[in-house]
Amino acid sequence: MFSNAKIKCPHCGNLAMPVSRKFSLGPAVATKCDSCHEKIGVPYYSMLVALSPFLLSIFLTLKLESILSMITVVLLGFIAMTLIHLYVIPIVKK
Ligand SMILES: [Zn+2]
């Protein structure tokens, strides 16, 4: 499922890190490529892009009345945030 995640290094084009490590990356957190050891990270806008479905889902819960649908909506927002972080947000040079 995670095989197409964007974890290629912008410096050398090789695999920069395991997918699990991309989860720990934030705009202020740079890391080093496993292959070439150059500094890489996620762009500054990534936080906003990835967080928006999650924030939207929290906002949507204000319109819902049952706890179960609130939990479902927030869970979907969280899943969307995770998928965006893995597949849409690119790894960039730092
Ligand atoms: Zn590299």
Q: Where are the domains of the chain?
A: 19-93
- The backbone region for 56, taken as left when phi is positive above 0, alpha when psi lies in -120 to 50, beta otherwise, is alpha
Report the separation in Å between the CA atom of 79 and the middle of ligand 1, taken as the mean of its atom positions: 28
Report the separation in Å between the CA atom of 10 and the middle of ligand 1, taken as the mean of its atom positions: 7
Q: Residue 1 pLDDT more than 50? A: no
Report the separation in Å between the CA atom of 91 and the middle of ligand 1, taken as the mean of its atom positions: 10
Q: Express each pLDDT in 12-65 by its tens digit.
A: 999 999 888 888 888 888 999 999 999 999 998 888 888 899 999 999 999 999
Compute the chain's Rg from CA coordinates: 16
Report the separation in Å between the CA atom of 8 and the middle of ligand 1, taken as the mean of its atom positions: 8
The predicted model scores a pTM of: 0.77
Q: Ligand 1 (ion): which residues have CB within 5 A? A: 9, 11-12, 33, 35-36
